[in-house]
Amino acid sequence: MAADKAHAVVIRAVPFGETSAVVTLYTRELGKLRALAKGAWRPKSAFDGALDLLSTCQVLVLRRSSGGLDLLTEAFLERRFRVATSLAAVHGGMYVAEMLDALTADADPQPELFDVASTTLLHLSDHEGPDSLVWPRVVRFELAALRAAGQAPALGRCAECRAAVPDTGRIAFGMLDGGVLCAACRRGRRVVVSVSSAALAVLRGLRAGSVERPIDPPVLGELRAVMNTYVAHVLGRKSRLSPRLVPVLPPRSTPPRDA
């Protein structure tokens, strides 16, 4: 049986026996797969540290037709995820792994999603800059993962009737409806929050690919609250990383009191 070659991101690794591991990989060519890596933790193995969490590697895998675990025969490290001074970047990287596992089906290749995930991990790895540059990349990845899963939120037209929604003031966002709602469709809906036009504009920009500009702190806090809640409704549970994805905002300054 010939082995398939693929580019992969390691999103999970669980010990199996004394020296082996069951790894979950998200690959560009084969989609998500789970494979047994025999002898992965031996000092001298065919994997040579390539199976560390969030590593990007090339793998050779023997596919099982019966639905059992695939067999990983070799892995060649391309890029290791490195921890620097930003805890937000580490949490962001772990969140990428969680979403790749939770929002994708086995053996369903999504090359565009793989590319976004790989690029996101590249920028979060060894990140020593401000956290304000971390959050836009995390949200852009979220939107890409939701789109690949068929759960992308409607941001321009009403999620119910597809009418254009004004982008001024406060806009209704239905968590159960899948995005923004016009005034007519808002009536009687449950689990609806009010989103500022500024936060909605940032979401639209990130969906279009803009990631370089930091987000204003008040808008960032609102945006993360919306995304954490929306992802929880899509998954049917809260993300394990959601408590870590709330940015620490600077304290509000208060005017001095008159003497």
Q: Is the full-model pTM beyond 0.95? A: no
Q: Per-residue pLDDT tens for 170-219?
A: 999 999 999 999 999 999 999 999 999 999 999 999 998 877 678 888 89
Residue 179, phi then psi, degrees to nearest 5: 145, -160
Q: Per-residue pLDDT tens for 33-47?
A: 999 999 988 877 778
**What whole-number distance in Å separates Cα of residue 66 and Cα of residue 1?**
14
Confidence band, pLDDT 50/70/90 cuts, at residue 259: very low
CA dist 122 to 11, 72, 94, 240, Å?
A: 14, 24, 13, 22
Nearest to 149 by CA among 101, 191, 211, 181: 101
Which residues partner with 36 through β-bridges? 22, 71
Which residue do the tokens 């690959």 mark? 27
Kindly give the residue spans of alpha helices, DSSP state H, lying in the chain: 87-102, 111-124, 134-148, 183-186, 197-207, 217-235
Q: Do 137 and 120 touch, CB atoms closer than 8 A?
A: yes
Q: Per-residue pLDDT tens for 37-96?
A: 999 888 777 787 899 999 999 999 999 877 789 999 999 999 999 999 999 999 999 999
pLDDT at 29: 97
CA-based diameter of the chain, in Å? 84
pLDDT at 247: 77
Q: Per-residue pLDDT tens for 125-170?
A: 999 988 888 999 999 999 999 999 999 999 999 999 999 998 889 9
Domains of the chain: 4-79 (2.40.50.140), 87-244 (1.20.1440.120)
Sheet hosting strand 192-196, strand order edge to edge:
179-181, 170-174, 192-196
